[in-house]
Chain A
Amino acid sequence: MMEVKSQEEKAKKPELKARDFVSDQDIKWCPGCGDYAILKQMQSALPEIGVKKEDIVFVSGIGCSSRFPYYMNTFGMHSIHGRATAVAAGLKAARPELSTWIITGDGDALSIGGNHLIHILRRNPDVNIMLFNNQIYGLTKGQYSPTSELGKVTKSTPSGSIDHPFNPLSVCLGAGGTFIARAMDRDPKALKELIIETHKHKGSSLLEIYQNCPIFNDGAFSAFTDKETKKKETVYLKHGQPLIFGDKLQYGVKLDGVHPIVVNIEEEGQDGLWIHDETDKIKAYILTQLFDDPEAGGHLPRPFGIFYKEERFCYEDAMQAQVDHAREQKGDGDLEALLSGNNTWIVD
C-alpha cells in the first residue's frame, strides 16, 4: 500500500549496550520470577535492533509484568489496567516513527483489556506486544486468570475454576493479528531472537511469553521447561522446516486431512511431514490448536516460535497518508477559512 522505510534504515546504528537500557530503579519482582529473564533478554536484544534509545517507548498496563517500563531506561508509561494497548495505539498513531512496545499479562491483555487487544490486532499498527502469560493473577495475590486451566484451585476458586480458559494465540490470530509467536522465559536464546523478530515485523507483533510465577503458580509450564520433558513436549517452528521434536528428534507432526498427528520418524521416515509455512494462515490456525494438556493421553507437542506472519498495511501509515493527502488537496489548514466557513454575511 505505501512505502515506509524501516526503522533500521532511518536511524543510524547507535552503539548501545544492554546496560544502556537498565534504568536506575530497583527491581521489585519476587526472587525467581520469570520476569527477570524476559527483562534481561529485552535489554540485550534492543542494542541489536538499531533504534535510538530515545525513539523507544514501553507502555504497560497493570500487573506484575507491567512494572517492566520502570526498569527500562527508555521512554515509558505504566498506564492503567488493560489499557496499554489502547494507549500505545494512540501514541503510535500520533508518532509513527517511534518504536513502540507493549508489556502486558494474561489478565491485563485477555481479561480486562481483551477488547483493546483484539482491536489493536485488527488495526495492525506497528507495535510489539509482549504478552507475559503466567496463567495467574500475581499482583493481586493469586486468583485464577483467563488462561488458568479448568479446575484450578485458587483463593477465588476454592472448589476449582469453572472458566474455560482462552487459547491466547488462537484468539489473536482470530482477531486478525499479523504476527503470532510464542516463547518462554526459560529459553532465553529463542526469546531474544523472537523479540528481535517482533521488532522486524512491520505490523502488530504478538509474542506470548510463558512466564513462571514461582509464588502463585510455580511450574505452570514445567512440562515445556523441565529437562526431562521439554524435548518431548515442545516443537520449535522454523519456516520451511518440518515439525520435528523429541530428545532424538525422533518424532514429527503430520497432517491427516486437517488433523495433526504425531508420527515416529524412525519408523515411518520424514515423508509427508508438516513443513512449516509461516505465511499460511489456515495452517497457522491449526498450529494454534496444538494446545493440549501435556498430561492428556495422546496429546500433541506445544509449538514455539513464529506461527504466522503476514504483510498488511499499518494503521498509522494509512492515517498519516490521509492527513498528507488532505494537505496536498486542500493545502495546509487555513485558520481564517476555517473560522469563516462557506456562508457569511456582513452587518454594517
Chain B
Amino acid sequence: MTTKEQLDQVTILLAGDSGDGIQLTGSQFTQTTALFGNDLSTFPDFPAEIRAPMGTIAGVSGFQIHFGSSEIYTPGDLSDVLVAFNAAALKKNLDRLKDRGIIICNTSGFDKRNLRLAQYEENPLLDDKLRENYQLIEIDVTKMTRDALSESGLGPKDRDRCKNMFVLGFIYWLFGRPMQGTVDFLDNKFKRKPEIAEANIKVLKAGYYYGDTVEAIPSTFEVSPAKMQRGTYRNIMGNQAMAIGLVAACKKAGLPLFFGGYPITPASDILHELAKHKNFNVKTFQAEDEIAGICTTIGAAFGGSLGVTASSGPGIALKGEAMGLAIMLELPLVIINVQRGGPSTGLPTKTEQSDLFQAMYGRNGEAPMPILAAASPKDCFATVYEACKLAIEHMTPVMVLSDGYIANGAEPWRFPEASSLEEISTKFVDEKDAEDFKPYGRDENLVRQWATPGMKGFEHRIGGLEKELESGNVSYDAKNHQTMINIRSEKVNKMANIIAKISPDSGELNGKLAVLGWGSTYGAIKTAVKGLILEGLDVAHIHLRHIHPMPKNLEEVLKSYDHVLIPELNDGQLIKMIREKFLIDAKGLSKVEGNPFAAGEITEAIKSYYS
C-alpha cells in the first residue's frame, strides 16, 4: 500500500532533449497545479541552440516548477524531484537535486548511444552511490508508451512523441493531481487529429495508472492548496504580462499603441504577444534592425501613438542614439530591456542584471530617462503600466528593465479589474490654443504639450539639435543649452514627487540589516528574508522598482539600518549608485553566472552579519 506524505512545498525539475516535449509537460503540470490551488513559480531553461544535437548536454531543455501550500516567490533552488528523459539530462542537472531527492528516469534514454553522447563512461543508473544518495525510480517510458499504443495504428515516431504524457501522468499520480485539465487540453489541441489526441490521453492515463499499479514508490505526496488571497487568478509569464500591460495602458489612455522592434532573445515574445491584439488598435512593426525598431516608434509617437520598443542589451546598445533623440523631442516612448547575459552576444538564453548602467548612462550627452524595473513575471504588468503612465503624462521616453528569468518565468496572477487600473491622461493640445502654441512650453511638472500632425495651426518642427526654451527652435546659445540640460534633468527628478514612497517589503524599519534589491532578485531575497525573520533575525527586505528617479524617502529608509546589503546579478551596479548618491557604506553580493540567485545564497550572506 502506498502511503501519502504531506509536504509544504515541492520543486520538480523536468529535463530532456529539446524534442521531448519538456516545456509542454511543464506548462500542463503548472496549469493543473494552479487550478488545484497551489501557489507556484516556474522557470524554463532552454538551450541556446534551437536544435542542438539530440542526446547531448547542450541539447538539454529544462523546466522547473516550485509549488506549495504557502506563498512561493521563486522557481526554487534545489529540486526535490528530477525527471531525466535521458542520460544527458541527468548529467546536466544532478547537482541541482537535493540529497535524497527523487530521480525519475527513462531507462531507454540510458542506452549505449545516450551514455556516449552524455559522456558517461559507465551507466550512472548502475552506480550504487546514486542509489544511496537519491531515490531512483526507473521506468522504461519509451517501451511503456509504445506498448500502450500498440493497437493505435500510429507509426513509431508518432507513438514516441507521446512519451512525455506518460511522465506527466506519472507525476500527476505522484502528487495526486487530476488529469482532466490535460485531457481537455489535448482534445482541444488536437481537434483536427483526434487519433493523436486519443493516443496522448491514453499514454497520460497509462503513466498515471502505472504509478498506481506498480507502487513505484513507497509514498506519494500531497501538497495542499495555498492560502492565497481571495480573487480570480490566471497564470502569467513575464513577457506576456509586459505585453498585456502595454495594451491595457494604451486602452486606458485612449491612445493607439505602436510597437517597433527587431527579434531578439529573450524579448521577442513581447512582439509575438502584441501582434495578437490588433483589435486593441495595436500596430506591430517588425523592423529591419534595432535602430529602425525604435525610430519607427519615434515617428509614430510624433503622430500621436504611444511608441514602444523592446529588446535586450545588444539591441538596446544600438538604440542609444535614438533614445537621445526621444529625450530631446520629449515624446512618449516606452523602451523595454529584457536583459540577458552580456557583454556582446554573451549568454542569450541566460539571465543577468548587468544593463542597469547602460539604462542609466548608456547614451551620449546628458540624457536622463526614468527607469523602472520589474520584480517578477506578474509584476511586469504593473511596472510597464506605470511606465506607460509616466511616459504619456510626462512626455518622455521611459526605460523598463526586465530579464530573461522573469520574462520566461510564470506565476499565478490575481489580475486586476479593468476599472481598477489607474487613469492615464494625455497631454494633447487644446484646439483653441493654436494661436499661442509654444512647442516647448511647459506645465508645472515641466511637461510639454503634444501637438500632432493634422492639428491645424500647430505646425512646428522638432529635432535632435538643442532646442530654444519654449519656442523649440534650434538654438546654439550657451546659456540656453545649460537651461535645457537642467530642465530635462529636473523634469525626470520631479517624478519622484509622484512615484510611491518606499517601505520595507518584509521586516521593519530601523533595524540591523536591510537587504536592498531591484528587479528579478525579488523572489530570492524575499524568500530568504522571510525565512530568517521567522528564525528571529532582525532583517528587512527593501525592493526598488524606481531606479530613476528613486523614491524620495529611500535615503532616509536605508539610513535607518546599521547595514545595507545589495545582491545583484552583475558586478555591482545599483550598489555604486546607492553609495554615490547617499554615501552609505552598503555591501554588495554579486553573482554573474547566468542564473538567478538561490534563496539559500542570500540567506547565507545575511547570516554572515549575525555570526
> Separation in Å of the B479 CB from the closest CB of chain A?
20
Contacts A57-B453, A75-B459, A78-B464 known; A115 to B289 CB distance under 8 Å? Answer: yes
Does B109 interact with chain A (Cβ within 8 Å)?
no
Q: Chain A interface: which of B274-282, B542-550, B561-569, B593-601?
A: B274-282
Does A249 interact with chain B (Cβ within 8 Å)?
no
Q: Give Cα A62 to B465, complex, Å.
A: 10
- The answer on a CB contact under 8 Å between A91 and B279 is no
Q: Give Cα A263 to B230, complex, Å.
A: 89
> Which among A70, A73, A75, A347 is the interface contact of B230 at CB below 8 angstroms?
A347
Does B229 interact with chain A (Cβ within 8 Å)?
yes
- The answer on a CB contact under 8 Å between B453 and A345 is no
> What residues of B have a CB within 8 angstroms of the CB of A75 in the complex?
302, 452-453, 458-461
> Separation in Å of the B464 CB from the closest CB of chain A?
5
- The answer on a CB contact under 8 Å between B248 and A338 is yes
- The answer on a CB contact under 8 Å between B234 and A343 is yes
Q: Give Cα A129 to B528, complex, Å.
A: 59
Q: Give Cα A330 to B247, complex, Å.
A: 15
Contacts A97-B454, A323-B279, A344-B233 known; A339 to B461 CB distance under 8 Å? Answer: no
- The answer on a CB contact under 8 Å between A78 and B296 is no
- The answer on a CB contact under 8 Å between A77 and B283 is no
Q: Give Cα A95 to B281, complex, Å.
A: 12
- The answer on a CB contact under 8 Å between B258 and A80 is no
Does A59 interact with chain B (Cβ within 8 Å)?
yes
> What residues of A have a CB within 8 angstroms of the CB of B298 in the complex?
79, 87, 90
Does A327 interact with chain B (Cβ within 8 Å)?
yes
Residues 220-247 of chain B, each 1 if its beta carbon lies under 8 Å from chain A, else 0: 0000000011111111100000001001
Band of interface residues on B: 35 or more
Residues 313-337 of chain B, each 1 if its beta carbon lies under 8 Å from chain A, else 0: 0000000011011000100000000
Does A326 interact with chain B (Cβ within 8 Å)?
yes
- The answer on a CB contact under 8 Å between A346 and B260 is no
> What residues of A have a CB within 8 angstroms of the CB of B244 in the complex?
338-339
Which residues of chain B (23-55) have a CB below 8 Å from chain A?
31, 34-35, 37
> What residues of A have a CB within 8 angstroms of the CB of B418 in the complex?
335-336, 339
> In the complex, which of the residues A69, A98, A344 has the most CB atoms of chain B within 10 Å of its own CB atom?
A344
- The answer on a CB contact under 8 Å between B283 and A95 is no
Contacts A23-B461, A78-B463, A323-B282 known; A86 to B291 CB distance under 8 Å? Answer: yes
Contacts A90-B297, A91-B303, A119-B288 known; A339 to B279 CB distance under 8 Å? Answer: no
Cross-chain pair count, CB within 8 angstroms: 209
> Separation in Å of the A73 CB from the closest CB of chain B?
6
> What residues of B have a CB within 8 angstroms of the CB of A73 in the complex?
459
- The answer on a CB contact under 8 Å between A339 and B454 is no
Residues 88-111 of chain A, each 1 if its beta carbon lies under 8 Å from chain B, else 0: 111111110110000000000000
Does A83 interact with chain B (Cβ within 8 Å)?
yes
> In the complex, which of the residues B228, B322, B461, B473 has the most CB atoms of chain A within 10 Å of its own CB atom?
B461
> What residues of B have a CB within 8 angstroms of the CB of A80 in the complex?
295, 321-322, 324-325, 464
Does B581 interact with chain A (Cβ within 8 Å)?
no
Q: Give Cα A62 to B252, complex, Å.
A: 37
- The answer on a CB contact under 8 Å between B453 and A341 is no
Contacts A54-B453, A330-B279, A341-B234 known; A79 to B304 CB distance under 8 Å? Answer: no
Q: Give Cα A74 to B251, complex, Å.
A: 30
Contacts A75-B459, A83-B295 known; A94 to B417 CB distance under 8 Å? Answer: no
Contacts A77-B462, A90-B285 known; A345 to B34 CB distance under 8 Å? Answer: yes
Contacts A326-B279, A336-B418 known; A83 to B459 CB distance under 8 Å? Answer: no
> What residues of A have a CB within 8 angstroms of the CB of B288 in the complex?
86, 115-116, 118-119
Does B455 interact with chain A (Cβ within 8 Å)?
yes
> What residues of B have a CB within 8 angstroms of the CB of A74 in the complex?
459
Which residues of chain A (114-132) have a CB below 8 Å from chain B?
115-116, 118-119
Contacts A54-B454, A95-B453 known; A335 to B282 CB distance under 8 Å? Answer: no
Q: Give Cα A348 to B303, complex, Å.
A: 46
> Separation in Å of the B301 CB from the closest CB of chain A?
8
Does B203 interact with chain A (Cβ within 8 Å)?
no
- The answer on a CB contact under 8 Å between A91 and B300 is yes
Q: Give Cα A73 to B456, complex, Å.
A: 12
- The answer on a CB contact under 8 Å between A94 and B37 is no
Does B416 interact with chain A (Cβ within 8 Å)?
yes
> In the complex, which of the residues B298, B305, B455 has the most CB atoms of chain A within 10 Å of its own CB atom?
B298
- The answer on a CB contact under 8 Å between A323 and B281 is yes
- The answer on a CB contact under 8 Å between B230 and A348 is yes
> Which among B296, B458, B460 is the interface contact of A90 at CB below 8 angstroms?
B296
Closest chain A residue, CB of each to CB of B414: A347
Contacts A75-B460, A80-B464 known; A91 to B283 CB distance under 8 Å? Answer: no
Residues 16-57 of chain A, each 1 if its beta carbon lies under 8 Å from chain B, else 0: 000000010100000000000000000000000000111111
Which residues of chain B (205-225) have a CB below 8 Å from chain A?
none
Does A162 interact with chain B (Cβ within 8 Å)?
no
> Separation in Å of the B246 CB from the closest CB of chain A?
11
- The answer on a CB contact under 8 Å between A347 and B233 is yes
Does A268 interact with chain B (Cβ within 8 Å)?
no
Which residues of chain B (448-485) have a CB below 8 Å from chain A?
452-465, 473-474
> What residues of B have a CB within 8 angstroms of the CB of A341 in the complex?
234, 236, 415
Does A333 interact with chain B (Cβ within 8 Å)?
yes
Contacts A23-B461, A78-B461 known; A55 to B454 CB distance under 8 Å? Answer: yes
Q: Give Cα A345 to B178, complex, Å.
A: 15
Does B346 interact with chain A (Cβ within 8 Å)?
no
Ordered by A's residue number, 24 sampled pairs between the chains whose C-beta atoms are within 8 Å are: A23-B461, A25-B461, A25-B473, A54-B455, A58-B461, A69-B463, A75-B459, A78-B463, A86-B291, A86-B299, A90-B295, A90-B303, A115-B289, A116-B288, A323-B281, A326-B279, A327-B278, A329-B279, A330-B279, A331-B279, A335-B418, A339-B417, A346-B232, A347-B228
With A76-B462, A332-B280, A345-B234 known, 9 other A-B pairs at CB within 8 A are A55-B454, A78-B462, A89-B292, A94-B258, A94-B304, A333-B251, A338-B244, A339-B418, A343-B35
